[in-house]
Amino acid sequence: MACSSCNSENQQRYPAEMVIHLPGLKNLNMPPVVAFPNLRICMDCGSKELVIPESVLWQLGRESAKHRLHTSPTQEKFPYPDISVTRKIEEKAFIKCTNRTARALGILGLLLLLSVPLFAQDTPVGPAGAEVATQDTPAAATNSDALRNAAQNPIASLISVPIQDNFNFNIGPADRTQNVLNIQPVIPLKVSKDWNLIVRWIVPIIYQPIGVPQPSGPQLQSTGVYGLGDMNPSFFLSPSKPHKIIWGVGPTLVFPTATNTTYLGQGKFSMGPSVVALVQPPHWTIGFLANNIWSVAGQSDFNSASAVNKPPVNQFLLQYFVNYNMKKGWYLTTQPIITANWRAPSGDVWTVPWGGGVGRIMKVGFQPVNITAQFYANPTRPANTSPWGMRLQFVLLFPKLSKEQEKGLLEQKLKQLNQEQPQKN
């Protein structure tokens, strides 16, 4: 459309938004009218036009204006310089708004035009996909397949901090409960163009119930030991390029860091190989993690005046995991941990759980998280150990962002916080 003042076609259009409140006491309870006009600025003569949708003019005309029809396109001048409303109707009909509605539109238009330089220089916050709470944002796409697959991959290039609480019920003749809280951050490191090193460090905090024999009557129920257990770091070397079969291999170590070696640790420095492999077809994550450790140093294997008797360590661990992914971040999962103590008596070697649970990848504030609840029975287990248990897990997820995405995400957070502060006040 040509400029109404100089007929120049050299114009710039900027989208705008205005909220129109109808004047007068009789319209005090009327809802405001929200309009999305276009600002047109002539780059030759500098004149400005505000093009308002037809539906808004009809609504304003019904509420507080006198209107009449014309048979040709018309332009109405407001009593303010350089402000006009232009509208073309397919049927060449025009509703002319007068009186207080016209004055209100003129004032709002003037205020809006004063901010034209700001609209002309404004650009979207951050690059495309860097806005918070959109599916295109790595840090906010909590239901995207990519983030869910990475969260379910033990060796993904994704920093995560799992906090896992394990309750083992009905231990011993007194039916006590053992609690093991594992804090196990996973940190990926790029060692070359083709290889990543995934560091998985497990820090256990343990409450171990202890039954104290009494001369007569039941055992004392309130005795237990609480403290730090043996730390268990694992290191997986994994290809950085994606393949159908994702795999990693490396050493796993056990450090004798327990604060109470008698009840909370093995008292040995142990090591061994560890391997993980998985596939992720549509809707599924299927894989396993396995290792075997042997003690190589530590406290004496025999009783002495200054050392606790700690036998050699030769233990096997296998955790297979099967996840079925559903809509809105939900998934069904089974992740039993099968263990074998090769030095135990023949009837006490294996612990074989069976069970599963449900989880969801979601967002708490700006932070993506993975929450899981699982229950397992232990049909095969050593004597005086737990017949069943519960595992609760809360995982903080930190997807890798580019510098532009980090900048855009920070700007969007600040923008949202600034918008929330006036509402609270």
**Lowest mean pLDDT, pick from 36-40, 124-128, 412-416:** 124-128
Please provide residue 364's backbone torsions phi and psi, each rounded to the nearest 5 degrees: -110, 105
Quick one: pLDDT at residue 122?
A: 27
Same domain, 166 and 261: yes
Residues 357 and 243 in one domain: yes
Q: Is residue 379 part of a domain?
A: yes
Q: How far apart are CA 159 and CA 398, in angstroms?
A: 5
- 140 lies in some domain: no
- Looking at the structure, tell me whether residues 252 and 392 fall in a common domain: yes
Examine the domain organization and report whether 38 and 103 are in the same domain: yes
**CB atoms near residue 197 (< 10 Å):** 17
pLDDT-based confidence at 235, cuts 50/70/90?
very high
Q: pLDDT tens digits for 342-356?
A: 999 988 999 999 999
Residue 386 lies in a domain: yes
Is residue 216 domain-resident? no
Say what the pLDDT of residue 27 is.
59
Of the three residues 121, 153, 188, the one that is the final residue of a domain is 121
Choice between 393 and 31, residue whose per-residue pLDDT is larger: 393
Say how many domains are in the chain: 2
Note whether 394 and 278 are same-domain residues.
yes
On whether both 207 and 347 belong to a single domain, the answer is yes
Q: Do 108 and 15 belong together in one domain?
A: yes
For the four alpha carbons of 153, 154, 158 and 161, in that order, the dihedral sign comes to: positive
Is residue 337 situated within a structural domain? yes
pLDDT tens per residue across span 258-274? 999 889 999 999 999 99
pLDDT at 217: 63
Q: What is the mean pLDDT of residues 320-333?
A: 93
Residues 180-220: tens digit of each pLDDT: 999 999 999 999 999 999 999 999 999 999 876 666 665 55
Question: Which helix (H) or strand (E) segment is 294 a member of?
Answer: strand 284-298
Helix (H) or strand (E) holding 124: none
Among candidate residues 357, 284, 360, 289, the one with its CA nearest the CA of residue 322: 284
Confidence of residue 26 (pLDDT cuts 50, 70, 90): low
Q: What is the mean pLDDT of residues 278-282?
A: 92
- Mean pLDDT of the 371-399 span: 95
**Pick from 165, 177, 225, 230: nearest CA to 385:** 177
pLDDT of residue 251: 98
Residues 150 and 103 reside in one and the same domain:
no
149 and 25 within one domain? no
Q: What is the CATH number of the domain that holds 375?
A: 2.40.160.40
Do 225 and 272 fall into the same domain?
yes
pTM: 0.62
Sequence-separated (6 or more) residues with CB below 8 Å from residue 43 = 8, 10, 11, 12
Q: What pLDDT does 221 receive? A: 61
Which tokens is 329 given?
């971040």
Q: CA-CA distance, 287 to 245, in Å (whole number)?
A: 9
Is residue 391 pLDDT above 90, yes or no? yes
Res 41 pLDDT > 80: no
Is 137 a domain residue?
A: no
Residues 89 and 192 in one domain: no
Is residue 167 situated within a structural domain? Answer: yes
**Tens of pLDDT, residues 136-190:** 333 333 345 666 677 777 767 688 999 999 999 998 777 889 999 999 999 999 9
For residues 257 and 312, state if they share a domain: yes
Domain of residue 50: give its range: 11-121
- On whether residue 415 sits in a domain, the answer given is no
Q: Is the pLDDT of residue 100 over 90?
A: no
In the chain, the percentage of residues whose pLDDT exceeds 70 is: 63
